[in-house]
Structure 1
Amino acid sequence: MAVALRYAARSDIGLGRYKNNQDSGYAGPHLLAVCDGMGGHAAGDVASSIALAQLATLDADSYSGDDLARLAERIRAANRALSERVHAEPELAGMGTTTTALVLHGQRLALAHIGDSRCYLLRGGEITRLTHDHTFVQRLVDEGKITEDEAERHPQRSVITRVLTGDSEDDADLSVREARIGDRYLVCSDGLTAVVRDATLAEVLDEHDDPATAAQALVDLALRGGGADNITCVVAHVVDASSGQASSVPEVVGSAAVRGTVQPTDASTPAAKAAALDRQVTDDEADDVPAVAEPPSRARRAFRVVAALVVLVVLCAGGYAAYSWSQQQYYVGASGDQVAIFRGLPQDIGPLRMSHVYEKQDLALSDLPEYTSEQVRGAITVDDLAAARTKVAELRTQACPTDTATTPPTTTPSSTPTTPPAATPSATASSATASAGPSASPTPSPSATPGSGADCGSAG
């Protein structure tokens, strides 16, 4: 029995500090995908829309060859496109995107995944997570150092270890499964799963028979839970292809929709394809016709000059206001090899510098755990100067301890016997550690700062 998809996609910017949506989502007859851009000022919204544009070509009603191999090739194409964009625009260096995509071919679903966006399957009322997060805390869970519940509250739960960045070593996890009628799939960004538990996801997917209603309900749940991140949900039901329930018009949400990198069109029928071809031919013919402009009158020319001057004045006034506002913003970043508080915005506009060092901190990047150091290099935006200083204080608590050499006490000749100096706490701790032997190791604690142990040692 042939199967098809009934689907819907929804996205929201969230309630946090984001000024734009860095997620891109797609739901089509043959493709379900979510890309969550990262990089902050380094254009995460650009990264997600570039990747989705490459994946969207998979939403075809027929093609030959191995569906999993074709999906893997599109992931590589997306990665190459990111590399080419950064090469053309170096100011975008550091951007990246998660990618989770399902492709339906016949009765098979090919799945590709990299990052911390997720794919779930609800079958028979039971929900299963089909993807494995590529994050720092997931690695701690895999190693048995923390539990799943502790991972949900971990302060470094958003640190991602693998995404598409344009690097040749960025590879996605690939798998294939059978599509069964009645299955319900959810592809989503971490803006949803950071707030809504898996059990609740299962309840919503099971409760709503309409994918659009389910997707919107999930977004609303994340917002009610204080969802600070961008939230994107793609919900799809596997249906009988002959039932008339299948969807046919692709839905694009998030950055890809705003930027227009992926245009949703109904190309599922021969008539629609013929209409699209006719539009293309008409446009091509129009391009071949030379445009003849009517000579403007003197009054019209004067009006255009005045209008241009008005626009120029408005732009200058708006630009000055925007610059003045930007100089009231602060962020924590890197100044050379030191942590510093910057005043202004992390991104520059052409040759115009939008920030400068406000306070240089006595804290070296090399003293921080590797993942924290990378966050600082990428700029940590805050609400105000007080919040910036608070963030620096938090960074100090994560700094790797450095050994300080102690000078032995000087003995002054005296006829009066002196009491030997008491052992210092550090010496006592060292002796205790030495006596414990190599077999003694501290028990991992969820409250311990990640990276302050083994990571500090490796950094040295």
Structure 2
Amino acid sequence: MPLAVHFAARTDVGLVRSRNEDSGYAGPHLLAVADGMGGHAGGNVASSLILSRLAPLDGDSHGADDALELLAETLAGANRSLAEAMNAEAELKGMGTTLTALMRCGSSGLAMVHIGDSRGYLLREGKFTQITKDHSFVQSLVDSGRITQEEAEHHPQRSLVTRVLTGAPEDEPDLSMRQAKLGDRYLICSDGLSDYVGRETISEVVTEVGDPDEVAKRLVDLALRAGAPDNVTVVIADIVSPATSPATQPIVVGAVAERRAGATQPIALSPASKAAALRREATGAAVEEDDEDDGERQRPWWRWMVVFLVVALAAAGATFAAYDWSQRQLYVGPANGYVALYRGIPQDLGPIQLHSITKISAIRLDDLPYLERQRVDAAVTVSDAAEAEELLDGLRQRADACRLQRSQGMACGSGSL
């Protein structure tokens, strides 16, 4: 039986980040989320570059026999483009990205690729299941039996990934085939959702809300209400009959929609270009109110002065409240080659510095594995001092293990723990 896809996608920069490093794509034949990393090293470039290379797969349906090979070859080429970009621009070195994607093939097949800690879920006949496995430090603890899955959901080091796309030939994503069924609902999301909204809550929204766009909107709103500091991106896809499928253009959100031609190749598909325009139309500039009629009487000067003072006091109060909130936050980041605990948020407001060092640990950044070092460079937000100490203890153990491996002539890589 022929099947079609009713899809939606939404993203938000989150409550702390200054830019969106997530990229999302939802189309008739391709669904994908990439979560870039590298902070100033170009996580937004990495995610947008990968999705721009995958976007041409959102064409006519592909054959089931060679779908995985096509997906693997396309992704390998996209990953090589990361290396080329880093060789061309030194400031991009160290960037990387997760990727979770589904590509339609045959009459009901779905070729899936996954690397990193973005996630894929499936709602089928009322049962909500996770269909991807995180490539993360915490997942390795679960696999070894050291912690439970429930403990993993709140572990302070849950953001430390062990496999992502970095432009290296040895980057190996998981590839698998799935069979879509009429009535299925797929959710692909970045960890900005799964790290801050509980699985039961996600399942409840995905199960009970009908419209895919409303599902995506509610999930993003829940992440923001939970205080998510990270970017959050959600792609929803319902498997429907072609007769009931709405005729919609692909939707592109996040860094891949925002980046201009230059450092990365723009998406080649014209539908994707239209999708970026649709995104601007849906979330773009607010409509300006018409000027007052020339014949309207002008207010006395003192009324304008009162309005000005009220607005100024409100702005000052909001600024103070925002600053007060920022100074109650904690994060772990780099300081002169070492790992440090900061109070505040990892950005400045013009000449005003919004962070200060609380403690510099004895952990050298050069002693950490590559991915842990990149995470620290990008700043790891913690909820309190106890969580910060637990994170520092874990990083200290990883640094000690790396020094031991190097003393024995072994490489300390990011793919094993």
Per the normalisation by structure 1, the TM-score is 0.64
Shift of 1:73: 1.2
Contact kept in structure 1, 2:33 and 2:235, CA below 8 Å: yes
1:87-126 equivalences under 5 Å are 87-106=87-106, 107-126=108-127
Shift of 1:333: 2.6
Contact kept in structure 2, 1:248 and 1:266, CA below 8 Å: no
Q: Please, what is the CA RMSD of the aligned residues?
A: 3.8
* Residue of structure 1 equivalent to 2:170: 169
CA distance in structure 1 between the aligned counterparts of 2:163 and 2:233, rounded to whole angstroms: 20
Shift of 1:130: 0.7
* Residue of structure 1 equivalent to 2:18: 19
SS at match of 2:153: helix
- Residues 127 and 86 (structure 1), Cα distance of their counterparts in 2 relative to 1, 3 Å cut: same
* Residue of structure 2 equivalent to 1:215: 216
CA distance in structure 2 between the aligned counterparts of 1:83 and 1:367, rounded to whole angstroms: 22
1:76-225 equivalences under 5 Å are 76-106=76-106, 107-225=108-226
* Residue of structure 2 equivalent to 1:363: 362
* Residue of structure 2 equivalent to 1:41: 40
Q: What CA deviation, in whole Å up to 9, does each residue of 1:250-271 have, x standing for no partner? A: 000001111153377549xxxx
Unaligned runs of 5+ in 1: 273-329, 348-357, 401-449
Unaligned runs of 5+ in 2: 261-265, 275-330, 348-356, 408-417
CA distance in structure 2 between the aligned counterparts of 1:131 and 1:6, rounded to whole angstroms: 21
SS at match of 1:191: helix
Contact kept in structure 1, 2:229 and 2:381, CA below 8 Å: no
Q: What CA deviation, in whole Å up to 9, does each residue of 1:171-190 have, x standing for no partner? A: 11011011100000001100
Amino acid of the structure 2 residue aligned with 1:111: M
SS at match of 2:101: strand
CA distance in structure 1 between the aligned counterparts of 2:35 and 2:364, rounded to whole angstroms: 27
Moved more, 366-375 or 81-90: 366-375
Contact kept in structure 1, 2:61 and 2:104, CA below 8 Å: no
- Residues 252 and 133 (structure 1), Cα distance of their counterparts in 2 relative to 1, 3 Å cut: same
Shift of 1:390: 11
Shift of 1:223: 1.1
Amino acid of the structure 2 residue aligned with 1:225: A
Structure 1 moving runs of 4+ over 2 Å: 62-65, 260-267, 330-336, 338-342, 358-364, 366-373, 375-383, 389-400, 450-460
Contact kept in structure 1, 2:114 and 2:175, CA below 8 Å: yes
Matched-pair identity in %:
50
Q: Which protein has the larger Cα radius of gyration, Structure 1 or Structure 2?
A: 1
- Residues 376 and 227 (structure 1), Cα distance of their counterparts in 2 relative to 1, 3 Å cut: closer
Contact kept in structure 1, 2:38 and 2:96, CA below 8 Å: yes
Contact kept in structure 2, 1:23 and 1:37, CA below 8 Å: yes
* Residue of structure 1 equivalent to 2:318: none
Shift of 1:332: 4.4
Shift of 1:244: 3.3
Contact kept in structure 1, 2:183 and 2:239, CA below 8 Å: yes
- Residues 34 and 366 (structure 1), Cα distance of their counterparts in 2 relative to 1, 3 Å cut: closer
Q: What CA deviation, in whole Å up to 9, does each residue of 1:83-137 have, x standing for no partner? A: 1100100111010000000001121001000000001000011011110000000
CA distance in structure 2 between the aligned counterparts of 1:234 and 1:376, rounded to whole angstroms: 25
CA distance in structure 2 between the aligned counterparts of 1:259 and 1:18, rounded to whole angstroms: 17
* Residue of structure 2 equivalent to 1:254: 254
CA distance in structure 1 between the aligned counterparts of 2:213 and 2:111, rounded to whole angstroms: 23
CA distance in structure 2 between the aligned counterparts of 1:219 and 1:360, rounded to whole angstroms: 34
- Residues 339 and 145 (structure 1), Cα distance of their counterparts in 2 relative to 1, 3 Å cut: closer
- Residues 456 and 216 (structure 1), Cα distance of their counterparts in 2 relative to 1, 3 Å cut: same
Shift of 1:198: 2.0
Shift of 1:456: 7.0
Contact kept in structure 2, 1:137 and 1:157, CA below 8 Å: yes
CA distance in structure 2 between the aligned counterparts of 1:57 and 1:456, rounded to whole angstroms: 44
Q: What CA deviation, in whole Å up to 9, does each residue of 1:22-76 have, x standing for no partner? A: 0000000000000000011111011100000011011011445611111111211
Amino acid of the structure 2 residue aligned with 1:85: A
Amino acid of the structure 2 residue aligned with 1:175: S
Contact kept in structure 2, 1:31 and 1:102, CA below 8 Å: yes
Contact kept in structure 2, 1:5 and 1:247, CA below 8 Å: no
* Residue of structure 2 equivalent to 1:28: 27
- Residues 80 and 378 (structure 1), Cα distance of their counterparts in 2 relative to 1, 3 Å cut: same
* Relative contact order, higher structure (CA 8 A, sep 6+): 2
* Residue of structure 1 equivalent to 2:306: none
Shift of 1:451: 3.8
Q: What CA deviation, in whole Å up to 9, does each residue of 1:291-335 have, x standing for no partner? A: xxxxxxxxxxxxxxxxxxxxxxxxxxxxxxxxxxxxxxx994364
Contact kept in structure 1, 2:29 and 2:61, CA below 8 Å: no
1:208-287 equivalences under 5 Å are 208-241=209-242, 243-260=243-260, 261-262=266-267, 265-266=270-271
* Residue of structure 1 equivalent to 2:75: 75
Shift of 1:361: 5.8
Per the normalisation by structure 2, the TM-score is 0.71
Amino acid of the structure 2 residue aligned with 1:71: L
Q: Do residues 378 (structure 1) and 377 (structure 2) align?
A: yes
Q: What CA deviation, in whole Å up to 9, does each residue of 1:340-371 have, x standing for no partner? A: 899xx999xxxxxxxxxx99968351796547
